[in-house]
Chain A
Amino acid sequence: MHDFNFIQPKSAAAAADALAGAEDGQYMAGGQTLIPVLKQRLAMPTDVVDLSAIPGLAGIEVSGGAVRVGAMTTHAAVAASGAVRDAVPALAHLAGLIGDPHVRNRGTLGGSIANNDPAADYPAAVLGLGATVVTESREIAADDFFTDLFETALDDGELVTRVDFPVPDAAAYVKFPNPASRYAIVGVFVSRAGGAVRVAVTGAGPCVFRQAEMEAALSAEFSAEAIAGVAIAADDLNNDLHASAEYRAHLVGVMARRAVAEIA
């Protein structure tokens, strides 16, 4: 990797200052995406601002009908959390499916959603549960957060501090993993809260998205059969070495039906 300045601020404000003062700065949460691209010399920041020494960014709390997960909470901590398992078992299950044990013990919720990899798992949970992304300065609804391929609504230097996941009546996440990377080729997160149903799809497109037709059908009748007839268009889906757009479109249907069947 190229040389860079390594800064470990003790507060979010100091982190923002460090980033603002850098020629080409980069926040690092768990570093599970950043470090490999640094090693490959694909990313060449002048300054890496490590967020791990900022107090209060990690932790899990269930209160007010929501699971509140600090941005620096590792995937392993979420997967192992009894509180999460009790409140939203699908969320703990999803965290336990991310990457491998190494990634899960370093990678963080905030890092994952700020990066918004199109095949990452967490965006499906954030969008599929209608979570709220909390930053130093504001709250961003999940529907507004993920904007495009590796793009989010975060401003430059804006730091995710927490994500609040509302506790649904039921939720499920079913993932078809890439056998090499263990990212999602297709992952579908389904939640039901009151009469509202959310279906969030990751891996299939350039950015996590909601499947409106399935949501409508499931709102009317929450069963796998209800969405059996929903045709998924391959047109805008990812088409690469690992899966064609047609196959991904097919998998969206299969994964969604399986997720619904788990909780119907």
Chain B
Amino acid sequence: MNKVSFGDTVRRAEDHRFLTGKGNYIDDITMPGQAHGVVVRSPYAHARINGFDADAARRAPGVLLVVTGADWAAQGFGPIPTKSAVKENRDGTPIAVPDRPCLAHDRVRYVGEGVAFIVAETRDQARDAAELLDVDYAPMDAVTHPVKALEPGAPQLHDGIADNLCVDWELGDAEATEAAMRAADRIVRLELHNNRVTGAPIEPRGAIASYDAGTDSYLMYQATQNIHANRNTTAEILGIEADKIRHVGPDVGGGFGAKNSVYPEPALVLHAAKTLNRPVKWVNDRAESFLSDTHGRSQYSTVELGVDDDGTFRALRTTTVGELGAYCGTVGAFTPTGGSARTQGGPYGFEAMYYSARAGFTNTAPLDPYRGAGRPEGSFQIERIVEKAARELGIDPVELRRKNLIPKERLPLKTAMGLDVDCGDFPTVFEQALAMTDRVGFQARKAASEAAGKRLGFAIAPYLECTGGMPKEHAVVTFTADGSAHLAVGSQSTGMGHETALPQILAATLGLDMARIGFTQADTDATPLGGGHGGSRGMEMGGNAVLQTAGEIIEKGRAIAAHLFETDVDKIDFEDGSFFEKDTNHIASMTEIIAASFDPERLPDGMEPGSLNTGSTFERGIISIPNGCHAAEVEVDPDTGAIAVTGFWVVDDFGTIINPMLADGQVMGGVGQGLGQALMENAVYDEASGQLVTGSLIDYALPRADDMPPMTLEYYEGAPTKKNPLGVKGAGEAGCCGAPPAIVNAVLDALDGLGVTHIEMPLTPEAVWRAIDAAGS
């Protein structure tokens, strides 16, 4: 019996499969008779399409189907819709949403946009044919810079959308913020750029689908994070009923937000499978992944902090220009507006806050959520302005933060941005993190570093974020008479370990043997609804759905036990995997009750055999508030500008920790991703040509194992949230909130005294070297 509890470090059940090459990814799936599709992608950032000549491509060896943009348009399929939660501008008018077809037919708006889909017997034949497709392009001027795109005279992307502007939005009290700014002793200002990045999941996007003419239905496997919602939207595009598509996410190799959205290709694959009456597989290569996956971040912001000379924060105002790319993505306009606004100000107290954003279209791949989706941008803004304020005021940055953290006694509160902060203890978390960092030894380490010609720096960065994603989640548990169970959930792991953590919750709650719990996720046939993966919702939604389902199973089990013990249900208790009658020696294990549940002789009236099987939908009330504190120590080589992160410490308040090892994995991965954005990663488009310059792993600097810092992680578990029964707060995106400001501020601390006050991310060696050089001259 493999007995587990909440808080146990249960090793990952899925790892043996992943680490021995037994994972089942899209390209591992083979359907009998499958054909292969490739997308022909635009080489131009902006061009009119005068026409297609597909004759040569259609005649190429092995070619089964060529669907050009013109062919697709003629079919009358719908555009790819946006599902942005922000739908209106500040003046109440609707945001501008251009039509986005699955294949462009009259105009392309970014390099990598699909213009045709070619299916052949083999992938190479399809690629050969793609080279034969003649698309008559008339290149147009492009704009790839989000600020320049909104300026007068910029190339215009969409007819009927003025000045490339999608959304103009605000949150907070502008007047109260202005008044508090005026009342403050000073206003500290900082302009900063949150660099554009891409998820670069290890498995590129892909799908394989078959069509059954008898039932007019489809089976599609896709490397996506969002099985139910993306099925529904893809059906909407094709004008078919969603329940005609069974959509399955097999093992999915990473997402980071880039597999969250609805993309054009699944609709193309389904259409081709039906047209050919054959299974069709499409898998992006790495270059296509860079060109056509959604990118993230990309904000140019001005941050203003009204602060008194004694360090008291009064007001915060952020003015941002965000970027949508060529079209509205699935979440689209929400990320640079609501997504970035709600956690403004972090864990600090303010009299007033105001956030204002405009975001528009550029000739680049669409942008959509990327691990954190606005909260890391907000966290970076507040922590950078606080660091700058500390230096302008001559106050120790640690002291300035300590002074302004919201004290525990003030919780719960609703922030000026409307966020419900129910619980937590920010000062305690801050002090816990600070205590880990060996401040006493810092001066000696700094001296040793200086003796070697280097400069050591330190920074601490508390953060406050929130969860998100779909507000409902479903879990189904089915039993067999031998006592084994199968758990199916609509939430989804793309590598995080749900196959371990969710059965762990079920096993711990019901007292079952974990080895006898099977697991299915991301299958529209397995659960009637599911919210997939996004917004750090795995434990909050999936975990609570499992807990709720287990609770309903226990209630049914009590009825069965009462029947077996010939007593009343209210006399039955359940504890430690067993049902027992109070004040008697009557006891039945969960396994015995499961066996009884299949035996009509032992069931109470009204219960059918198998009725212990339970499906339950958990619905979130209010999103939870993960928070914590990161600290970084960095060593800068001033001769080259190279940075080494020599120490990294984290304390997180994720509420209840179900499996510490899996939580550690989330934090470490998030820190790695945050480090990547801070120091290495940058998705760069050439402004003149609109070409993606960082279109391969040779040019896009993704962190590797040897770039990762030594990390020490702890949890603060003193404030489980009451917003959900598990008391969990979401762990997935926190690393991206804390790491960039901690690392960037630590680098600036290392350069203290040289006159460097700001360096834009990524802090590449050359950027650091130039900043030192510019400050010194």
**A85-93, A163-171, A174-182, A191-199 - interface stretch:** A174-182
Interface string of B736-777 (1 = CB under 8 A from A): 000000000000000000000000000011100110000000
| Complex: chain A residue closest to B698, CB-CB | A181
Contact A250 B769 (CB under 8 A): yes
| Complex: chain B residue closest to A253, CB-CB | B639
- Interface size class on chain A is 20 to 34
Query: CA of A241 to CA of B642 in the docked complex: distance in angstroms?
Result: 17
Contact A2 B124 (CB under 8 A): yes
Q: Which residues of A contact B699 (CB under 8 A)?
A: 180-181, 241-242
What is the predominant secondary structure among interface residues of chain A facing chain B? loop
| Complex: chain A residue closest to B693, CB-CB | A241
B697 within 8 A of A: yes
B287 within 8 A of A: yes
Query: CA of A241 to CA of B128 in the docked complex: distance in angstroms?
Result: 31
Q: Which residues of B contact A180 (CB under 8 A)?
A: 680, 697-702
A251 within 8 A of B: yes
**B interface residues, how many (CB within 8 angstroms):** 25
Interface string of A1-17 (1 = CB under 8 A from B): 11100000000000000
Q: Which residues of B contact A1 (CB under 8 A)?
A: 124
Query: CA of A95 to CA of B149 in the docked complex: distance in angstroms?
Result: 47
Query: CA of A2 to CA of B764 in the docked complex: distance in angstroms?
Result: 37
| Complex: chain A residue closest to B130, CB-CB | A41
Contact B694 A241 (CB under 8 A): yes
Query: CA of A242 to CA of B680 in the docked complex: distance in angstroms?
Result: 10
Query: CA of A234 to CA of B287 in the docked complex: distance in angstroms?
Result: 32
Contact A254 B640 (CB under 8 A): yes
Q: How far is the CB of A68 from chain B (nearest CB, A)?
A: 32
Q: How far is the CB of B263 from chain A (nearest CB, A)?
A: 22
A244 within 8 A of B: yes
Query: CA of A221 to CA of B601 in the docked complex: distance in angstroms?
Result: 100
A130-175 residues at the B interface, CB under 8 angstroms: none
Interface string of B613-628 (1 = CB under 8 A from A): 0000000000000000
Q: How far is the CB of B525 from chain A (nearest CB, A)?
A: 36
Q: How far is the CB of A213 from chain B (nearest CB, A)?
A: 20
A243 within 8 A of B: yes
B367 within 8 A of A: no
B630-646 residues at the A interface, CB under 8 angstroms: 639-640, 642
Query: CA of A242 to CA of B766 in the docked complex: distance in angstroms?
Result: 9
Q: Which residues of A contact B765 (CB under 8 A)?
A: 176
A228-260 residues at the B interface, CB under 8 angstroms: 241-244, 247, 250-251, 254
Contact B701 A254 (CB under 8 A): no
Q: Which residues of B contact A (CB under 8 A)?
A: 124, 127-128, 131, 285, 287, 639-640, 642, 680, 684, 693-694, 697-702, 707, 764-766, 769-770
Q: Which residues of A contact B (CB under 8 A)?
A: 1-3, 39-41, 176, 178-181, 183, 241-244, 247, 250-251, 254
30 interchain pairs (CB within 8 A)?
Answer: A1-B124, A2-B124, A2-B128, A39-B285, A41-B127, A176-B640, A176-B642, A178-B701, A179-B707, A179-B764, A180-B680, A180-B697, A180-B698, A180-B699, A180-B700, A180-B701, A181-B697, A181-B698, A183-B698, A241-B684, A241-B693, A241-B694, A241-B699, A242-B699, A244-B766, A247-B766, A247-B770, A251-B640, A254-B639, A254-B640
